[in-house]
């Protein structure tokens, strides 16, 4: 991915099949998001690299060029750290995936052709940190999206780290280490179930002790093997595992087939009152083979 530094800012080239506005619209879907702010068609987000908290503002300088500015005297003096900031943004926006093959499949597919027409340039906005991705998956289990955002905000504002800029707080998700040292009683105060508190502390402990790492999952190079590693962990079922493999590990064939949002999106597209069965979804998904994650993400976009 080509990028250059121009004085104090960074210019990052984006692929042809990328629309900053489509991704900005996706990121705007919740008014209760606590990990970034959208301001004047730009995204402001705090990122932690090593011991640094860096506040970036990401906007579009021209078509297929992102402008990255450092706010509040947080521009790292080290080029290595600045490179890591760019790498984080590339991963967050999934800029290294060539999605042209997905568009070729989707354009000819009756379930997907309207979605790719309407949302062209949308990427799977990622969650690069493994603990954050799993925690978000666990928080979202068996509750609606609105309440999931409420729980996330409570967790972040109680146990996360933050910095202030222009009178606004910019929050970072708590680390695995932050949560591994908590008790269930401390987490229950946030009004989540005891089970979810136990799951979060368990997975935080495994990640903190490096019994579970991103590299370990990526090295499987196989979505089913990676899913198996994740589902051995208490509180992580196939839905949560595939959600994490899709949004954090970038497995293009990750497929949260049991997702209620996916079922509702399929109902919307086919104009049905009935929830599709698993067999029906598997049949519909046959042409998406290898791109199930992108197919799911684009279908979700009809709803969220």
The residues assigned a catalytic role are 259
Task: Determine contact, residues 192/76, Cβ cutoff 8 Å.
Answer: no
**Whole-angstrom distance, CA of residue 277 vs CA of residue 274:** 9
* CA pair distance 102, 100, nearest whole angstrom: 5
Comparing C-alpha atoms, which of 131, 127, 128 is closest to residue 200? 131
Structure-block tokens of residue 28:
């705007």
Burial of 221 (C-beta count, 10 Å sphere; 0-12/13-18/19+): exposed
Tokens 């929050």 found at? 171
286: number of Cβ within 10 Å: 8
Q: Which two tokens stand for residue 71?
A: 């706010």
Show the 3-state SS of 22-76: HHHHHHCCCCCCCCCEEECCEEEEEEEECCEEEEEEEEEEECCEEEEEEECCCCC
DSSP structure class, residue 192: -
């Amino acid at each position: 991915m080509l990028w250059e530094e121009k004085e104090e800012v960074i210019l990052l080239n984006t692929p042809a099949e990328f629309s900053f506005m489509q991704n900005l619209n996706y990121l705007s879907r919740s008014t209760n998001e606590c990990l970034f702010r959208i301001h004047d068609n730009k995204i402001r987000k705090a990122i932690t690299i090593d011991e640094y908290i860096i506040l970036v503002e990401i906007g579009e300088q021209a078509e297929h060029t992102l402008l990255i500015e450092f706010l509040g005297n947080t521009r790292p003096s080290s080029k290595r750290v600045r490179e890591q900031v760019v790498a984080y943004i590339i991963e967050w926006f999934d800029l290294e995936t060539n999605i042209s093959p997905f568009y070729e499949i989707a354009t000819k597919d009756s379930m997907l052709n309207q979605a790719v027409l309407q949302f062209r340039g949308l990427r799977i906005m990622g969650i690069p940190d493994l603990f954050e991705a799993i925690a978000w998956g666990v928080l979202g289990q068996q509750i609606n999206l609105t309440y999931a955002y409420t729980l996330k905000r409570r967790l972040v504002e109680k146990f996360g780290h933050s910095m202030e800029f222009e009178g606004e707080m910019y929050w970072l998700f708590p680390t695995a280490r932050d949560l591994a040292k908590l008790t269930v009683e401390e987490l229950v105060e946030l009004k989540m179930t005891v089970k979810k508190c136990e799951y979060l502390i368990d997975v935080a402990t495994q990640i903190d002790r490096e019994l579970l790492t991103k590299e370990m999952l990526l090295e499987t190079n196989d979505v089913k093997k990676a899913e198996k590693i994740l589902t051995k962990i208490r509180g992580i079922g196939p839905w949560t595992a595939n959600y994490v493999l899709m949004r954090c590990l970038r497995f293009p064939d990750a497929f949260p087939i049991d997702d209620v949002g996916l079922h509702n999106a399929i109902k919307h597209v086919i104009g049905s009152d009935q929830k599709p069965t698993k067999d029906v979804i598997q049949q519909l998904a046959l042409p998406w083979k290898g791109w199930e994650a992108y197919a799911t993400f684009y279908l979700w976009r009809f709803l969220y």
